[in-house]
Structure 1
Amino acid sequence: TPLRYKAVVVDGAGRTASDTAATTAGQPPAPEKPSAVDRPYAVVHYRRTDGDYDGWRLKSSAGTADFTGRDAYGAFAWVELDDAAGDVTYTVEKDGAADGPRRTLETAETGEVWIEQGKDGQAVTAPEGAYPPQDQMKAVLHYHRADGDYDGWGLHTWTGAANPTDWSKPLRPVGRDSFGVTFEVPLADGATSLSYIVHKGDEKDIASDRSLDFATHGKDVWLLGGTAGYLLPTVGSAPDLDLGASKAQWIDADTVVWNVKATDATSQQLVYAPKGDITVKDGALSHEGHWLRLVPTTLSDAQKAKFRHLKDGTAWSVDPRDRDRVREALRGQLVATQRAANGALLAATGVQIPGVLDDLYGAAREARLGPVFDHRGRPTLSVWAPTAKSVSLDLDGRRVAMRRDGDTGVWSVTGSRAWKGKPYRYAVTVWAPTARRIVTNKVTDPYSVALTADSARSLVVDLKDRALAPAGWSGLDKPPAVPLKDAQIQELHIRDHSVEDSTVPATERGTYTAFTEKNSAGSRHLRALAEAGTSYVHLLPAFDFTTVPEKTADQATVDCDLASYPADSGRQQECVAKAAAKDAYNWGYDPYHFTVPEGSYASDPDGTERTVEF
């Protein structure tokens, strides 16, 4: 608010003096956020069964207009939008009487709507069958002049026209209606655009040459005299802002593949937020984060060969000025964004990062992960977590700090011999795309070699420990391998091998130890297969998987008599389904820890017995 002051003083002799000053008070209004949907007009198409549009007007929050335009659907009216117009509310009226309710045209979604006499709704796309198929061998331009004077106005054409015109002999209109005049231009074979000028002698409608891009606007357009764009068809759409998706793929330290269309008026960037607090609100990011600028590039032959599914994608290169911050960016939230020249957000998406992690932290391929013991029996625990903000060790309820190697992204800590056999987890603080925030996950070691029951904790165990070797392990003489060209292979599920075998002791059925019963029905059958030529038995997944409770007492069983139901009954499936989530049936294709045997097949899943028995 502007303020002006005037001060007046009177001295003892009655003389006066004055002066003025000016200032402002209050806060200036916040600048309007730039809009990503630039719509110069809102258009309402109106169909009346009697075809009489005289006196009917569009009355809207953006202005009032007659239904001047005509097309195959009926009549249309338009109002010009300013940058702050937002949604447009409107009615269609004649002599104060409205046809239908007050409606809203949401400019973020569309620039034109279709309504019908006597109906309350509106369509944001042209009703099916409203417009006849367009003749693809000609372009049709409808031209409107505010003064209604079309004498002498014609169309000069060149690129794309089957018969380019001479400047002195422009193409003349083929018709006239309440909107204005219509030009029809036969097109050259294969034309993708039409270059033209609307002129009267040496007077041009606008100073610059025009080009109608068929891919963007089609071949049937409406022009308003003195303006550079098109009234119809409307263009522009709501920005593609979805941080829950990850459409951009960062494939190596310098290269991102993201299929977003760029022009000279757009910019692209990777935005990262160390605190993971970027959201989308009102068509913009909640804050701008830190930027890595992207510039157009092309994929090399080597990149196309490595990422064959992306070989036809649009490639971007991280600006060399920003590459020193790539590793920092990977440890927080990442968003790929595209912006218009005015700063408006056109597109925003999450970023897939496996490729760039492999590129930057490839040295981790040589790292020894999980528990590794030195010659003194001291364990070092290591985990690869290059994007983590911090990792600490939860050792038997005690928190221990870990150190990060910047070259490999591996976090590690070395302990004492007293750590042997202790349960542990890692506390990993990291940006989690599924949760969309920074979280601290308490997780087992993906390189575990031993676990407590139900994979609750990893165990600090050395697989070279002699206590983990079954009797006869060191002297085992494996039979020679059969060449695969001669191999005969049978598949076997560890639990199914013995779970219903009455020749196996009840406590061993469905377990690893059932295979030690040499005279069981299952073992006799395996010997018979070997004698018949079977050379290999392929075990279905034997590693630790997730959905079977590992303690027998926790496993659900079917509590109904399945055999009592008719063969065509659905009761069997209904009964089995009630126990399915916690029963012992599982092929094992939901792996959790690849380097630990499954605990539900062990006599005791809590500890290292599963390893010995396996």
Structure 2
Amino acid sequence: MQRYPALKNLSIFVFFIFGLIGLLMNRDLPASAENNAIVHYYRYGHDYADWNLWGWVPGEEGKSFPFLEEDDFGRRVVVSLKDPQPFGLLLRKGEWEARDVTTDRHLLPGMHEVWLIEGDDKIYFDKSQADRRSKIIGAFLDAPDTLNVHLTNDTLLIGVGGQGFALYGEDTRPIPIRSVLPADGREVPCHTSHVSITLAMPLEVNKRYILTHPAYRSLDVVKRAILDEPRCFYTGEDLGPSYTPNSTAFRVWAPSAMSVKVSLYENSGNQTSRSIPMNRDSNGTWWSVVQGDLKNVAYTYAVNVNGVEREAVDPYARCLLKNGVRGLVVDLKDTDPPGWKEDRRPPLLHPTDAVLYEMHVRDFSISSDSGMEKKGKYLAFTEEGTKNSEGMATGIAHLKELGITHLHLMPPQDFASVDEGSEGYNWGYDPYHYFVPEGSYATDPDGASRIREFKA
């Protein structure tokens, strides 16, 4: 017997409404919404478990978006954005257990729908251009006569000859293959997507080679563990620019390059004013001397690897333009504050007397009530006698009150995730250039101010 049919019907309706709300809250907005970013993803083994999209918009924390929806391409996720704005994305497994390609990718406003493929760092805006055919996704030269090869899907190995694989050099002549075996040492015949190819002759680190197979898309060979050999190990201390008023010597380590050039930007414009070929030198390095006074001249390297020339910022640069877009030739003596050469670290007679304090450069002074003028900057460390609105010591004065003897700075070297022209924030554990101070902590991120103020 139903005693309260109206109440029961109301309960069912409320349950339905809350269930519907919960369902909608866990789904993305329809794909037709103007500000949605629709990301399709294809994995060759259809192993989507734990793979997710990590996405972010400028100035906000990143967020994980699981690929829950199947479609005729593979899986997809729809991300609802508040406004038309840039959207950064990468593909990861679980909580950063792995990444599919190391490249961060970005969508500009208006780029609503993209297709991504496992092992492919390209963004496809047209589904018809996204080629999901089987391919060689990795071919690594790990020894002079050994290739470590990864395939999108299994191939049958029977242990005889090249088994369909062929390797070609720059002159298109085939390079003899001695054997193709499972990389994990299993006996043949077997199916595997990871093979080890032994060649009948050694390869050169600075030559281009292409690995082919009729069942897979071909791929350029990447020099990997072979670069650990002594012939590629440079012990000199002159990497980067070595400046004098009369000339500047440039040296960069690029053992797999086919050619390298120094590109100079004397007027800080987008067009190179000069391009100087570099000479192959010892242990994988390239070297060139440019005559004349290059102080405060911006530069990059044009590096040709496997027939493709790319512009690269010198990893051994001493100074940078804003956001690390180019290196800058500087005379480091000009960045020394008064008394720099005479400055000495106070002696520590007993290590047990040390009182250590870890600190973030920006956090040290950024508070609106810090009483410091150069908030968030290196120069805040030079301000003395600062106090907050309640009269309490801040800055260096506060550290002295605490009895601190040694500061451990969280990474102060140039890092990648902050726009140095804005008030962005990061702890700094994503280094971009190891030998240059971070520009966002300087009063001017362009040029030598960052070095001068870091030393101050």
Q: TM-score range by the shorter chain?
A: 0.5 to 0.7
Contact (CA 8 Å) 1:363, 1:407: kept in 2 or not? no
Q: Which position in structure 2 is the counterpart of 1:509?
A: 375
1:318 aligns with 2:209: no
Q: Secondary structure at the match of 1:479?
A: coil
Paired position in structure 2 for 1:479? 346
TM-score by length of 1: 0.43
User: 2:360 is aligned with what amino acid?
Assistant: H
What one-letter code is carried by the residue in structure 1 that aligns with 2:342? G
Residue 387 (structure 1) aligned to one of 244, 256, 268: 256
What does residue 168 of structure 1 align with? Answer: none
Residues 47-89 of structure 1 show CA distances to partners (whole Å, capped at 9, x for unaligned) of xxxxxxxxxxxxxxxxxxxxxxxxxxxxxxxxxxxxxxxxxxx
Aligned counterparts of 1:473 and 1:460: Cα–Cα separation in 2: 21
Give, in whole Å, the separation in 1 of the partners of 2:339 and 2:281: 44
Matches for 1:101-500 after TM superposition, within 5 Å: 241-243=134-136, 245-246=137-138, 248-258=139-149, 262-267=157-162, 271-272=167-168, 274=170, 290-291=174-175, 293-295=177-179, 316-319=197-200, 322-323=201-202, 326-327=203-204, 330-332=206-208, 334-335=210-211, 345=215, 351-359=221-229, 361-366=231-236, 368-373=238-243, 377-396=246-265, 397-405=272-280, 407-431=282-306, 438-463=307-332, 465=333, 467-481=334-348, 488-500=355-367
- Measured against aligned partners, the alpha-carbon deviations of 1:333-383 in whole angstroms (never above 9, x if no partner) come to 543x5x6xxxx5579666552311232642423362101136x75210112
Distance 2:147 2:352 in 1: 44
| 1:295-336 Cα distance to aligned partner (Å, 9 max, x none) | 47999xxxxxxxxxxxxx9755432xx32xx226x433543x
- Describe the SS at the equivalent of 2:380: helix
Q: How many residues align?
A: 296
CA distance in 1, matches of 2:429, 2:357: 18
CA-CA distance at 1:496 after TM superposition: 0.9
Following the alignment from structure 2 to structure 1, what is the Cα–Cα distance between the partners of residues 355 and 370?
A: 27
Query: Is this contact kept in 2: 1:504–1:517, CA < 8 A?
Result: no
- For residue 263 of structure 1, report the CA deviation from its aligned partner: 2.9
The CA deviation string for residues 4-51 of structure 1, in whole angstroms up to 9 with x for no partner, is xxxxxxxxxxxxxxxxxxxxxxxxxxxxxxxxxxxxxxxxxxxxxxxx
CA gap of 1:274–1:475, structure 2 versus 1, over 3 A, is same
Percent identity (aligned):
31
SS of structure 1 residue aligned to 2:293 = helix
Q: 1:546 to 1:258 in 2, by over 3 A?
A: closer
Provide the residue aligned with 1:566 in structure 2. none
Report if the CA contact (8 A) 1:242-1:350 is conserved: no
Distance 1:292 1:539, change over 3 A: farther
Q: How do residues 580-595 of structure 1 correspond to structure 2 at under 5 angstroms?
A: 583-595=423-435
Structure with the greater alpha carbon radius of gyration: 1
Q: Unaligned stretches of 5+ in structure 2?
A: 1-44, 46-132, 184-193, 266-271, 387-393
Are the equivalent residues in 1 in contact too, given 2:362–2:441 (CA < 8 A)?
A: yes
Change (3 A) 1:501 1:273: farther
| Matched AA of 2:375 | R
Q: Cα–Cα, structure 1 residues 450 and 346, in superposed 2: closer, same or farther, change >3 Å?
A: closer
- State the distance in 1 between where 2:141 and 2:429 align: 29
The change in CA–CA distance for 1:479 and 1:315 in structure 2 (over 3 A counts) is farther
**CA RMSD, aligned part only?**
3.5
After superposition, the Cα gap between the structure-2 partners of 1:473 and 1:527, relative to the gap in structure 1 and judged at 3 Å, is same
Partner of 1:208: none
Distance across 2 between alignment mates of 1:441 and 1:331: 16
Q: Following the alignment from structure 1 to structure 2, what is the Cα–Cα distance between the partners of residues 357 and 294?
A: 23
Once residues 157 and 351 of structure 2 are traced to their aligned partners in structure 1, the CA distance between those partners, rounded to angstroms, is 53
Q: Which residue of 2 aligns with 1:68?
A: none
Quote how far apart the aligned CAs of 1:391 are.
1.8
Do the aligned partners of residues 460 and 267 (structure 1) sit closer, same or farther apart at CA in structure 2, a change above 3 Å counting? same
